[in-house]
């Protein structure tokens, strides 16, 4: 009985993916004839068409460029700040951490319009560079939060010993904090990657050119322009989802840790 | 040394968070037109939105309904799922993976999937209704002012239930096993064990999740924008979508008024979070 309910919930939760995955292998005319049919034969050609003709290739590489650059920058900047906040006692230490972390609850609109003005002013509006910088700022609080919590748990003795051995402070960041903090850094990288890969609000405001669209924006605009082309939309959706699914399959533990950081305290 | 390490982060924070927030406050008492035209208007924007902007109030009501209902649904559903896994149903690992996956999917994709699910002619909901002979109930779920908001709330629940499940499960696994075993020795059934022991012990986690879910719904934008753009007839307009429309959609070319909207809503969210946190915080921590 309970298993029936759980099975039903699983169908509710996973069913939509199965449906879209099946549709992505069928042509729109096949889908119109029967919306719940199986792909026979499977049209892998759909993916080639989406990639080359429907411009998903451009969206995919834009997403990759923005997300990889933003995650790299966030990780470096965040790790430096987290190290400083976790290792050194100074006035205002906790205040800085609180100030940065509290921005997590801010509605995006409180910065969105002003960011638009700022990017226009510095000619970064409608550029991937501008979007990348904004993404760094949006992910920095969570990154610092995850890393600071982990770095603070590294025993201070290790750092004292390194100091006595004549290691410089930069070297202790490089040789101790970073290698020891690898699990936390991996968590932060993966969760930032997924959140930015899926990001839509900043992209829709800050990007207007077709050839600069990221995947979520590209998929949404494609849907708006060609509402009826269900097969091709489904294929585009799969292109947007597959990298996330692969990451989830490989790093499910870190992903769940990162996504739920901050909620469990 | 501290300075060198902190400077980049503080620079990013100052330039892309602190300054924009201040700039939004500044905008909210100005008329901001393209080409650098700025004209001080005092509190006129605030007076207008509080007194005569009916769309804004409609958006506030919709958002508050959403933020009032959804946290209970999200956390309740997540807790129920977590308890099932905690009680040791078979295939727990498979279930956990299947239930968590929607959390990782972008709102754009979720929105498109559910637009199809709610489609009048061939969507899953109507197909199921017709299959069991309830075809009269079939309707255009997103095109109908009385069902559109509920349809969006259900979709949001679909995305977030797995997240709440995972967090609850972590809290359940952290419970002291002696206490749970003692309850089993006393022949305490699952229902009573849940109400009298598990819920009080994971109260802190549940409250954290409720606040998190509440804040999320107060900000909701992506899903609405993809699925309904606030329609039909403002039935799903939220404060976030309205701010976006006033800034970029309505051709008013004024960033001052939407900034005032954003400022008001920012203060409301802040007040709610502080209030809820103070109200629900555990007064004396439970010792076990």
- pLDDT exceeds 80 at position B1: no
Look at B108 and A233 and tell me if their CB atoms are within 8 Å.
Answer: no
Q: Is the peptide bond before A44 cis (omega within 30 degrees of 0)?
A: no
How far lies A92's CA from each of A96, A216, B274, B279, in Å? 6, 39, 22, 28
Return d(Cα A256, Cα B131) in angstroms, integer. 38
Question: What is the distance, to the nearest Å, from the Cα of residue A164 to the centroid of all Cα atoms in its chain?
Answer: 41
From the list B23, B166, B265, the residue facing A256 with the nearest CB is B166
Q: pLDDT at position A167, please?
A: 82
Map residue B37 onto helix, strand or coil.
strand
- pLDDT exceeds 90 at position B8: yes
How many other C-beta atoms are found inside a 10 Å radius of the C-beta of residue B175?
15
Q: Which residues contact B80 (CB under 8 A, 6 or more apart)?
A: none
- pLDDT exceeds 80 at position B280: no
Q: pLDDT at position B286, please?
A: 59
The single-letter DSSP state of residue B33 is E
Return d(Cα B5, Cα A46) in angstroms, integer. 49
How far lies B37's CA from each of A119, A126, B24, B179, B244, in Å? 17, 21, 15, 67, 20
Query: Helices A128-151 and B2-13 meet at what angle, rounded to 10?
Result: 130
The overall average pLDDT reported for chain B is 89
| Contacting residues of B for A219, CB less than 8 Å apart | 108-109, 112
Look at A113 and B95 and tell me if their CB atoms are within 8 Å.
Answer: no
Residue among B65, B81, B74 at smallest CA distance from B224? B65
Q: pLDDT at position B287, please?
A: 58
Q: pLDDT at position A1, please?
A: 78
Tell how strand B30-33 and strand B37-40 pair up.
antiparallel
Look at B21 and A83 and tell me if their CB atoms are within 8 Å.
Answer: no
- pLDDT exceeds 70 at position B285: no
Q: Is B13 on the interface with A (CB under 8 A)?
A: yes
Which residue shows structure tokens 């989802």?
A241
Return d(Cα A101, Cα B252) in angstroms, integer. 35
pLDDT tens for residues A212-265? 999 999 999 998 888 888 889 999 999 999 999 999 889 888 888 887 776 644
Most trustworthy range by pLDDT among A87-91, B121-125, B196-200? B121-125
| Contacting residues of A for B9, CB less than 8 Å apart | 77-78, 80-81, 100, 140, 144
List all residues of chain A from 225 to 264 with a beta carbon under 8 Å from chain B.
230, 233, 237, 240-241, 244-245, 248, 252, 255-256, 259-260, 263-264
| Contacting residues of A for B122, CB less than 8 Å apart | 35
Residue of B nearest to A118 (CA): B20
Residue of A nearest to B258 (CA): A113
User: Cα-Cα-Cα-Cα dihedral of B102, B79, A261, A202, to 10°?
Assistant: 40
For chains A and B, CB pairs below 8 A equal 230
Q: pLDDT at position B288, please?
A: 56
Query: Helices A109-121 and B256-280 meet at what angle, rounded to 10?
Result: 140
Question: Which DSSP helix (H) or strand (E) runs through B40?
Answer: strand B37-40
Residue among A97, A227, A120 at smallest CA distance from B112? A227
Residue of B nearest to A223 (CA): B112
Look at A248 and B6 and tell me if their CB atoms are within 8 Å.
Answer: no
pLDDT tens for residues B210-263? 999 999 999 999 999 999 998 899 999 999 999 999 998 887 778 999 999 999
Contact, A21 vs A31, CB < 8 A? no
Phi/psi for B134 (5° steps) reads: -105, 35
B225–chain A nearest CA distance, Å: 9
Contact, A82 vs A96, CB < 8 A? no
User: Can you list the positions of beta strands (E) in A51-199?
Assistant: none
Taking only the tens of pLDDT, chain A with its 265 residues reads 788 888 889 999 999 999 999 999 988 888 888 888 888 788 888 888 888 888 899 999 999 999 999 999 999 999 999 999 998 888 888 999 999 988 888 889 899 999 999 999 999 999 999 999 999 999 999 999 999 989 998 888 888 888 888 888 888 888 888 999 999 999 999 999 999 999 999 999 999 998 999 999 999 999 888 888 888 999 999 999 999 999 988 988 888 888 777 664 4
What was the ipTM of the complex prediction? 0.90
Residue among A120, A136, A121 at smallest CA distance from A206? A120
């Amino acid at each position: 009985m309970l298993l029936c309910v759980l099975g039903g919930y699983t169908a509710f939760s996973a069913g939509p993916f199965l449906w879209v995955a099946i549709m992505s292998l069928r042509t729109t005319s096949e889908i119109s004839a029967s919306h719940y049919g199986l792909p026979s034969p499977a049209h892998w050609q759909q993916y080639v068409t989406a990639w080359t003709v429907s411009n998903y290739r451009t969206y995919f590489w834009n997403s990759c460029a923005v997300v990889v650059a933003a995650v790299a920058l966030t990780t470096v900047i965040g790790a430096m700040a987290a190290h400083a906040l976790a290792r050194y006692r100074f006035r205002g230490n906790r205040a800085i951490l609180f100030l940065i972390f509290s921005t997590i609850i801010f509605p995006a609109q409180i910065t969105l319009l002003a960011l638009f003005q700022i990017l226009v002013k510095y000619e970064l509006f409608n550029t991937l560079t501008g979007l990348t910088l904004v993404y760094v700022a949006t992910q920095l609080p969570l990154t610092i939060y995850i890393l600071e919590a982990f770095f603070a748990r590294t025993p201070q003795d290790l750092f004292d010993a390194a100091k006595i051995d004549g290691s410089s402070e930069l070297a202790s960041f490089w040789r101790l904090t970073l290698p020891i903090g690898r699990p936390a850094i991996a968590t932060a990288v993966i969760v930032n990657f997924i959140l930015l890969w899926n990001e839509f609000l900043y992209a829709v405001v800050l990007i207007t050119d077709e050839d600069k669209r990221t995947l979520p924006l590209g998929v949404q605009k494609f849907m708006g322009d060609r509402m009826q082309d269900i097969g091709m939309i489904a294929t585009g959706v799969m292109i947007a989802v597959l990298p996330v699914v692969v990451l989830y399959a490989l790093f499910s533990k870190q992903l769940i840790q990162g996504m739920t950081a901050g909620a469990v305290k | 040394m501290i300075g060198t390490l902190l400077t980049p982060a503080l620079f990013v924070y100052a330039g892309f968070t602190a300054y924009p927030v201040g700039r939004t406050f500044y905008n909210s008492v100005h008329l901001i037109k393209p080409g650098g035209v700025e004209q001080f208007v005092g509190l006129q924007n605030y007076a207008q939105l509080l007194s005569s902007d009916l769309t804004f109030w409609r958006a506030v009501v919709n958002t508050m309904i959403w933020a009032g209902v959804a946290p209970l649904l999200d956390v309740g559903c997540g807790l129920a799922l977590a308890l099932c896994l905690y009680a040791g149903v078979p295939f727990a690992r498979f279930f956990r993976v299947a239930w968590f996956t929607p959390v990782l999917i972008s709102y754009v994709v979720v929105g498109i999937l559910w637009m199809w699910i709610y489609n009048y002619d061939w969507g899953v909901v109507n197909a199921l209704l017709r299959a069991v002979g309830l075809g009269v109930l079939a309707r255009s779920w997103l095109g109908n002012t009385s069902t559109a908001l509920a349809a969006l709330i259900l979709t949001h629940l679909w995305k977030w239930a797995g997240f709440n499940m995972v967090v609850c499960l972590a809290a359940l696994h952290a419970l002291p096993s002696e206490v749970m075993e003692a309850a089993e020795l006393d022949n305490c059934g699952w229902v009573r064990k849940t109400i009298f022991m598990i819920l009080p012990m994971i109260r802190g986690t549940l409250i954290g999740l409720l606040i998190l879910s509440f804040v999320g719904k107060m900000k909701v934008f992506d899903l609405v924008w993809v699925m309904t753009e606030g329609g039909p007839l403002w039935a799903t307009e939220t404060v976030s979508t309205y701010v976006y429309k006033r800034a970029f959609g309505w051709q008013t070319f004024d960033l001052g008024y939407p900034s005032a909207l954003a400022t008001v809503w920012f203060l409301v969210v802040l007040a709610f979070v502080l209030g809820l946190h103070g109200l629900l915080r555990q007064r004396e921590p439970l010792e076990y």
